[in-house]
Amino acid sequence: MRRFGPLRWFNARRFSSCARETRRQHFHTSLLHLASGEETTAFADALAFAAKARSLPLGSKVHAQIFRSGFSRDIFTQNCLLVMYSKCEALESAIKLFEEMPKRNLVSWTSIISGSINNFEYNMALETYLEMTRAGFCPNEFALASMLSACTALEDIPLGSSLHSLILKIGMDVNSFVGSSLLYMYAKSGDIRSAESVFGAVCCPDLACWNAMVEGYIMNDCGHDAFRVVSLMHSEGLVGDDFTFMGLIKGCSNSSYSNYGKQIHGAVIRHQMESSTMVMNSLIGMYSRMGMKDPAAKVFIRTKQKDAVSWNIMMTDFAQEDKDREFVDSFRRMLSTGTNPTEVTFSVAFRLCSTEHGVTVGLQFFSFAQKLGLVDDALVTNSLIDMFCKWGRTEDACFVLSELPSKDVVSWNLMILGYISNSCCTEAVQLFRALCRCGVKPDESTYSNVLSSCNGGVQFKRVGEQIHACVTKAGFSSSCYVGSSLINAYASSAMVGNSFKSFQEIRAPDLVSWSAMISALSKQGFSLEALSLLNSLGEAGEKPDDFAICSALNACAKISAFTPSKCIHSLIVKSGFEEHHWIGSALVDAYAKCGDIDSSRALFTGFQGDYDSVLFNTMITAYAYHGLVADAINLFDKMKSSGLEPSQATFSAVISACRHSGLVEEGRRFFNSMISRYGIIPSMDNYACLVDLHARKGYLQEAQEVILSMAVEPTPAIYRSLLSGCRVHGNRELGVWAAKRMIQLEPGNGAAQALLHGLYAEGGDWAVAGRADGEGVEPGT
């Protein structure tokens, strides 16, 4: 740009030489002022364009031209530069320019405050505001609105109330712009009454102020009041805009508001707002949240200009219902309309394809995302890591993580969780260490995930203690979420004392923490302590959940505590948990082990919920525990006639019933039918029941054949059953064989060595008994 316009039209010959020189000087001065004003406006327009486009390179070039043209010290231009740098997310450049300004006016201060807030530097905005007031400037409506936004983001309501006092003092409470920010702050904090008071004080609320009040009601679940405000607004002749209707639609979050949702839909049509894609998208989302798929599809069809959001909402519905074909068809139609998929589209696609049968389609989506250059987006990458982990392809997931230019903690958490879900606990711990070395700060989810990998073993006990130290150092030991994970980690390693210490470190235990501690005590045999903690939970004013009640009932079953079982039964009825399968099963088991089989039978017969296999298994086991074999077998037949498929646990229960009564043939028949008729692979518990069944009746060779036929290494408990049978029935040779293998599996098992010693001593071989440790002792020695 040239600073001076063309001068050729100036006719110097019309004046005398003296007059000509005087007039030329006056003209040049006037033209300079005119050109300066025009160029300042041109620079302001160029900077406004760069700010709107968020183009920092363009803004920097305009700044360079301003400097060359000599306007770099013009305060109006400098203020425009502050706005441009702030909106282009170059706050450091804005601050540097602000500090170099020789003079600052109120606009300068307001611009840097607003820019700090737009770049999420709320504390810096507060400090700048204080400097501005110390410099003698009185804040205008823009500065006050910005500061109220900072108070809202920081949840600093006391400071916001102080600003409110200042607003009242300078008479700014009637300003609609300030009022909108002020009432939004109160509404966000849950103080809807103060928000109403602020709204009532505004002199002539504009549409933005009305919309803020509507959104405030919606945030505080006051949907009826939001609808009332919109009706009042329309009665005063002010028609709502896109944001008004979007706010109302947002308030219809569940099916209980379906009638209001339909009325809003009618208002959208009446006010001819179907041309707004944002409003139509909100309607589609509303109907989808309510489970009204057909109206959602109709609104989608009526949407004239569908954008990626429109398609994403519909495809998300298909993904949630596992409708693979419909999802792919919608994806193809979206592409045919020229709409490009977004990060949300691929995120939903990867989560849909996370099942085993979705590998082929998932890889195709992956290739397309790479082609569009979206695989570096955090949302897409996290979904991709999750998909690969659910396929069991942890190496591919780890490669995706390693290729990320910048890894956030969510990506690390997903990969750690993926390792754990694929039983790669060592790799999960190693990845946690790599995360810490990279300087990423673990959050609560990180610690909770990695602690779930510390599930027993000497190595993981040590790792769990080290992670606990990191938790304490990071200040998360008082967190309920992390504390519950610590309780479970220590409990899985039989370190119940450390579990209780972790429980005590939690500042305000929630129900999950209480339940985890009760479960830890119950599983480790501290039944009385578990019941005592359940009482403490009630004294703390908390109502136990189904998990805590099940854990307490298991504790009652272990010590045959009949009276506590009856008390907990009363609590179950009072809490309305009678229809819960797990609670019903635990109560049946507790009564049976307390010797009250009649109460177990009555509970099972009168169960109000839908019967499942777990409840049947528990009742069959209860009959077996009391030697009621015929009842157990009849119940097994009834279970099959009810359409429930028996499981490994079912056969363990019915074979146990046969074991208690010595019905070897019936037990064999059930075991064989499990494989031949139901195609169920026997579990270690199934084999243990069958071996014990044979050993108790003296079928020792058959028991040994069962052990030798097992595809996996038997546990010491199975050899112990055979060894007990050998002692009862006097088969020393086979007993030595079983004892020797027990000692090989558990070299430090003193009970096995004692049993082996007893076998030789009972046979009179005292010399061999004196050195019987399972080493070098052959059967028949």
CB 126 within 8 A of CB 150: yes
Q: Specify the range with the lowest mean pLDDT, choosing from 229-233, 431-435, 457-461.
A: 457-461
State the pLDDT confidence band at 459, using cuts at 50, 70 and 90: low
| Of 751 and 60, the one with more pLDDT | 60
Q: Is 80 exceeded by the pLDDT of residue 5? A: no
State the pLDDT confidence band at 670, using cuts at 50, 70 and 90: very high
> Residue 24 has what pLDDT?
42
Angstrom distance (rounded) from CA 755 to CA 737: 12
Angle at 654 between CA 649 and CA 657, to 5 degrees: 130
Mean pLDDT (whole number) for 370-381: 89
> Residue 774 has what pLDDT?
44
Angle at 471 between CA 466 and CA 475, to 5 degrees: 150
Percentage, residues of the chain above pLDDT 90: 42
State the pLDDT confidence band at 643, using cuts at 50, 70 and 90: confident
Angle at 596 between CA 594 and CA 601, to 5 degrees: 125
> Residue 109 has what pLDDT?
92
> Residue 229 has what pLDDT?
87
State the pLDDT confidence band at 6, using cuts at 50, 70 and 90: very low
Mean pLDDT (whole number) for 279-288: 91
Q: Is 50 exceeded by the pLDDT of residue 11? A: no
Residue whose pair of structure tokens reads 């009432």 in the numeric block: 183
Tell me the pLDDT tens digit for each residue of 695-742: 999 999 999 999 999 888 898 889 989 988 888 888 888 888 888 888
- Encode 247-292 in three state secondary structure: HHHHHCCCHHHHHHHHHHHHHHHHCCCCCCHHHHHHHHHHHHHCCC
The mean predicted confidence, pLDDT, of the chain is 85
Q: Is 80 exceeded by the pLDDT of residue 7? A: no
The amino acid present at 568, given as its one-letter code, is I
> Residue 35 has what pLDDT?
38
Angstrom distance (rounded) from CA 385 to CA 417: 10
> Residue 21 has what pLDDT?
46
Token pair for 12 = 């110097």
Angstrom distance (rounded) from CA 129 to CA 142: 12
State the pLDDT confidence band at 13, using cuts at 50, 70 and 90: very low
Residue 152 has, within 13 A of its CA and on its CB side, a CA count of 21
This prediction's pTM:
0.71
Tell me the pLDDT tens digit for each residue of 570-592: 999 998 898 888 899 999 999 99
Strand, helix or coil for residue 71: coil
CB 552 within 8 A of CB 586: no
